[in-house]
């Protein structure tokens, strides 16, 4: 009886094992998700066989889910299939966006620079008698900077003036003699050839006056050179001459930094150089917080060898000299405007190829518009590539696809 029981249990185990082998799978660890699962029958028929084919057909019938969607169909095709072949119409919310002008700006980093640093040189040799300016002082054109000892220059002027007075007196006397002689000639009381000598004397007197006037002008100019005046407006910098020192002609009395206008110098990347041109407006802000508006006055035609960028200069008004030379600064150059749309970031999506864009509705049909993001702001995203007027789907864009018919209602959100 015990033997019959043992054989019966063994037979039952064999039957269960056979059913399991016929329908079940075995999982081998270490091969990753879904990679270690295989039919048990493959242990008996590794290369496949009639038993494997029977098991495969049986498993297909057992595990097939009639309600499982076909992964090869699009959302619209699945909806159409679920509706018995009729295309479903999904409701979406849209908002109308209109094209607007988007300012294009390029941000440059650089520094401020004095438009010029000019020395005020002595035009004659002399000892510095007085210095009339200090470092940091603002001067205008014509302001007195230094005074040289006039020495004998005053005497030279007085002598030149005396020579001029003497020449003029001689001219007056010669002119009277000439006029008297001409009156006598007209009356026939003097021979006609008597006026030739007087004419020569009159010409000599006139030349003497001109020579004396030139001598006086030279003497006065030499005296004026003892006063060194500013030829440009700006701020006094070092070096400044010291009183009592001898200055030769050409030696500097003082140095003037021209800060009005002042320059911003930076570099334009080679990718943007085609957009840059002189005359463009720009706003420059220094590290100290001072801002000024100016325009591009110079763009180099030669790129910097190390950065492959092009030097640029922006000229800024600086009447109060608040913008100093050598400050780090940032410039925003206005390159003009382009037609763009300001849309919320939440409406951005991707198509099947991974292109970024938005889904919109045109005559009840979904359209996908690929876009380019131009600027990201707090108010939304400025994008390029949309029609001038477009109804963008704001709610439901992820549940529809291009070409699908929808019922669009205007969104009530602001």
| Cβ(387)–Cβ(370) below 8 Å | no
Beta strands 234-237; 138-139: pairing state: antiparallel
Residue ranges per domain, the chain? 2-63, 90-99+344-410, 150-225, 251-336
- Quick one: which of 336, 173, 339, 329 has its CA closest to 262? 329
Residue 44: per-residue pLDDT: 55
Residue 153: per-residue pLDDT: 80
State residue 116 phi and psi, 5-degree precision: -160, 150
Residue 410: per-residue pLDDT: 87
> In the predicted model, is pLDDT for residue 281 greater than 50?
yes
- Quick one: which of 58, 74, 91, 14 has its CA closest to 411? 91
The pLDDT tens digits for 124-141 are 888 888 898 888 888 989
Q: How confident is the model at residue 24 (pLDDT cuts 50, 70, 90)?
A: low
Peptide bond into 193 cis (omega under 30): no
> In the predicted model, is pLDDT for residue 287 greater than 70?
yes
Within 10 angstroms of residue 317's Cβ, the number of other Cβ atoms is: 12
Q: How confident is the model at residue 166 (pLDDT cuts 50, 70, 90)?
A: confident
Average pLDDT over residues 169-173: 82
Distance CA 159, CA 103 (A): 71
Least-confidence region, from 46-55, 111-120, 161-170:
46-55
Residue 379 exposed, middle or buried by CB count within 10 Å (0-12, 13-18, 19+): exposed
Q: How confident is the model at residue 112 (pLDDT cuts 50, 70, 90)?
A: very high
Residue 178: per-residue pLDDT: 75
- Residue in this structure with the two tokens 């076909």, named with its chain if needed: 70
> In the predicted model, is pLDDT for residue 62 greater than 50?
no
Residue 283: per-residue pLDDT: 92
> In the predicted model, is pLDDT for residue 246 greater than 50?
yes
- Compare 200 and 233 and report the one with higher pLDDT: 233
- Residue in this structure with the two tokens 């094209």, named with its chain if needed: 99
360, β-bridge pairs: 367, 392
> In the predicted model, is pLDDT for residue 40 greater than 50?
yes
Question: pLDDT over 90 for what percent of the chain?
Answer: 21
| Cβ(360)–Cβ(411) below 8 Å | no
Q: Regarding the domain delimited by 251-336, which CATH topology (the fold level of the hierarchy) does it fall under?
A: Elongation Factor Tu (Ef-tu); domain 3 (2.40.30)
Question: Who contacts 311 (Cβ-Cβ below 8 Å, separation ≥6)?
Answer: 265, 266, 267, 298, 299, 300, 304
Question: Who contacts 406 (Cβ-Cβ below 8 Å, separation ≥6)?
Answer: 89, 90, 91, 92, 361, 364, 365, 366, 393, 396, 400
- Residue in this structure with the two tokens 């001067």, named with its chain if needed: 139
Distance CA 107, CA 86 (A): 55
Across 122-188, where does the E strand assignment appear?
126-131, 138-139, 144-148
pLDDT mean across residues, the chain = 80
What's this model's pTM, rounded to 2 decimal places? 0.53
Q: How confident is the model at residue 359 (pLDDT cuts 50, 70, 90)?
A: very high
* Domain 150-225: assigned CATH number: 1.10.287
Residue 3: per-residue pLDDT: 63
State residue 95 phi and psi, 5-degree precision: -140, 135
Q: How confident is the model at residue 90 (pLDDT cuts 50, 70, 90)?
A: confident
Residue 285: per-residue pLDDT: 92
> In the predicted model, is pLDDT for residue 28 greater than 70?
no
Distance CA 319, CA 114 (A): 13
Average pLDDT over residues 91-103: 90
117, β-bridge pairs: 257
- Quick one: which of 145, 400, 389 has its CA closest to 256? 145
Distance CA 182, CA 176 (A): 10
Distance CA 324, CA 287 (A): 11
The pLDDT tens digits for 319-332 are 888 888 889 999 99
Residue 276: per-residue pLDDT: 82
Average pLDDT over residues 233-259: 88
> In the predicted model, is pLDDT for residue 253 greater than 50?
yes
Class of domain 90-99+344-410 as given by CATH: mainly beta
Average pLDDT over residues 333-351: 88
To the nearest 10 degrees (0 to 180), the angle between helices 50-63 and 2-23 is 80
Distances (CA, A) of 328 to 81, 124, 292, 397: 66, 40, 14, 47
Question: pLDDT over 70 for what percent of the chain?
Answer: 77
Residue 342: per-residue pLDDT: 93
Q: How confident is the model at residue 369 (pLDDT cuts 50, 70, 90)?
A: very high
- Quick one: which of 340, 357, 338 has its CA closest to 348? 357
């Amino acid at each position: 009886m015990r033997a019959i029981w043992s054989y019966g249990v063994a037979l039952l185990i064999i039957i269960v094992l056979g059913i399991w082998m016929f329908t079940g799978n075995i999982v081998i660890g270490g091969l990753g998700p879904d990679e270690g699962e295989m039919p048990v029958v493959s242990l008996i028929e590794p290369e496949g066989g009639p038993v494997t084919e029977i098991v495969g057909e049986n498993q297909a019938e057992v595990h097939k889910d009639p309600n499982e969607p076909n992964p090869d169909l699009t959302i619209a095709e699945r909806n159409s299939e679920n509706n018995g072949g009729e295309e479903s119409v999904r409701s979406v919310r849209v908002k109308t966006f209109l094209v607007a002008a988007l300012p294009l700006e390029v941000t440059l980093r650089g520094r401020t620079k004095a438009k010029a640093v000019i020395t005020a040189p002595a035009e004659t040799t002399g000892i510095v008698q007085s210095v009339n300016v200090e470092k940091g002082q603002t001067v205008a054109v014509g302001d007195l900077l230094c005074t040289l000892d006039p020495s004998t220059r005053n005497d030279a002027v007085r002598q030149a003036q005396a020579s001029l007075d003497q020449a003029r007196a001689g001219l007056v006397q010669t002119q009277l003699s000439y006029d008297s002689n001409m009156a006598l000639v007209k009356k026939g009381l003097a021979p006609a050839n008597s006026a030739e000598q007087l004419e020569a004397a009159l010409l000599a007197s006139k030349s003497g006056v001109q020579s004396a006037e030139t001598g006086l002008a030279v003497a006065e100019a030499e005296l004026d050179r003892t006063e060194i005046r500013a030829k440009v407006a700006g701020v006094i910098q070092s070096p400044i001459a010291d009183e009592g020192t001898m200055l030769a002609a050409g030696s500097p009395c003082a140095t003037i930094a021209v800060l009005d206008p002042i320059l911003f110098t930076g570099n334009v990347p080679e990718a943007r150089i085609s957009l840059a041109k002189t005359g463009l407006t720009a706003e420059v802000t220094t590290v100290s917080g001072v801002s000024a508006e100016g325009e591009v006055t110079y763009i180099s035609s030669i790129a910097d060898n190390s950065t492959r960028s092009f030097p640029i200069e922006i000229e800024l008004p600086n009447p109060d000299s608040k913008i100093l030379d050598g400050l780090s600064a940032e410039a925003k150059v206005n390159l003009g405007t382009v037609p763009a749309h300001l849309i919320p970031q939440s409406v951005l999506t991707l198509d099947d190829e991974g292109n970024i864009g938005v889904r919109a509705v045109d005559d009840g049909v979904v359209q996908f518009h690929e876009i380019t993001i131009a600027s990201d702001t707090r108010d939304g995203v400025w994008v390029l590539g949309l029609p001038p007027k477009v109804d963008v789907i704001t709610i439901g864009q992820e549940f529809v696809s291009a070409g699908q018919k929808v019922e669009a209602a205007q969104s009530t959100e602001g």
